[in-house]
Amino acid sequence: MSPVNMCGSRHEILKILKRERCTVDELSSKVGISPTAIRQHLTILEGDSLVTRETLKEGIGRPKVIYTITEKAEELFPKFYSWLAECLIEAITGEYGEEKVESLMRQIGIRFSQPYLERVQGRSLEERVCEVTDIMNEWGAYASMENDGGDYLLKNYNCSFYKVAQKYPQVCSVHTTFLENLLELNPERIASMAEGNDYCAYQIKGK
């Protein structure tokens, strides 16, 4: 979800809460709609885990309920992660060469896989491929797996590094090494979104 896909009032509420924490009445005044309407929008935003509330008791009287945005909501605002990554890779390439970049990407792939090793230990290849597919989907890869008589085709339709990989294909080594470490074999990349395909695909040969 992104702010442009929300109704105007919810988008405006998030922008206000990005700058400061507010009560319902404060949001009503700033957005220019009734407190009842503000509460309805906040209920939806809370349901989407985009805002959270905190109850503050200040002296005598009813506690004050303050709303603020969540970490998930922070990701809806413009970020420059890809730009920063491109600058870093460009600097490393200029200083140390493309081979160093490739080596660093493989190291990152190993580190990226480490938190998931317990989930695949002691499992058959098919079970590992299924688990890796689930792991990839947990971080939004829109992955699928096909079994062809003991060989497997793993596809993902959302590349996490797409923009950077278009300029620096060495970045794909992060994903390849991630798969190698969890599957305990060397998958062959046969399609890449960074090269113009509709998805990234890896051929996994059964042992």
Domain boundaries, the chain: 3-74, 81-204
3-74 has which CATH code?
Answer: 1.10.10.10
Can you tell me the distance from the alpha carbon of 203 to that of 155, in angstroms, rounded to the nearest whole number?
Answer: 9
CATH superfamily of 81-204: Trafficking protein particle complex subunit 3 (3.30.1380.20)
> Among residues 121, 108, 118, which one has the least CA distance to residue 176?
108
Tokens representing residue 22 in the block: 């507010």
Helix residue spans in 20-124 (DSSP H):
24-31, 35-47, 71-74, 81-96, 98-113, 117-120
Can you tell me the distance from the alpha carbon of 56 to that of 50, in angstroms, rounded to the nearest whole number?
Answer: 20
Crossing angle for the helix pair 8-19 and 24-31, to the nearest 10 degrees:
120
Residues 38-76 pLDDT 10s: 999 999 999 999 999 999 887 777 889 999 999 999 888
Residues 160-186 pLDDT 10s: 888 899 999 999 999 999 999 999 999
Rounded (10°) CA dihedral 189, 194, 200, 205: 0
